Amino acid sequence: MFVLLLVILTGCSEPVTEPGLKALVGGRLESSLESEPIPYSVIVIADGKIRAMGPQATTPVPKGAETISTKGSVIRPMPYNGTVKPGEPANLMLFNIETGKPEGIMQDGKWQ
């Protein structure tokens, strides 16, 4: 009986969140020079790499992820002629959508 209760209670615990899991939400993603921009995007980053990316309407933010608003920003790969796609290192540049001025640089999933 004790073992059964222990199994049931273990199943009720909160899932452990991944350390370093981030989601950039709301910015305009220009993932490459050839692709169409995604106006309201989500980019999920884990272990310094892009795990998922796409429109906010169809790309879920994982539970427990550090959510970073990129609303009002353009997100581009670094270097600019690179690509933002799953499996690639999270090397990104953020620019203010109004002024075009740089706002931040992310290298391997970490802000510089």
pLDDT tens for 43-57 read 999 999 999 999 999
In the chain, the amino acid numbered 59 is: T
Q: Tell me, what DSSP letter sits at residue 77?
A: E
Q: Is 112 exposed, middle or buried (0-12, 13-18, 19+ CB in 10 A)?
A: exposed
Task: Check: pTM over 0.85? Answer yes or no.
Answer: no
Banded model confidence at residue 9, pLDDT cuts 50, 70, 90: very low
Task: Output the pLDDT for position 4.
Answer: 38
88-97, pLDDT tens digit by residue?
Answer: 999 999 999 9
Report the C-alpha gap between 73 and 101 in whole angstroms: 10
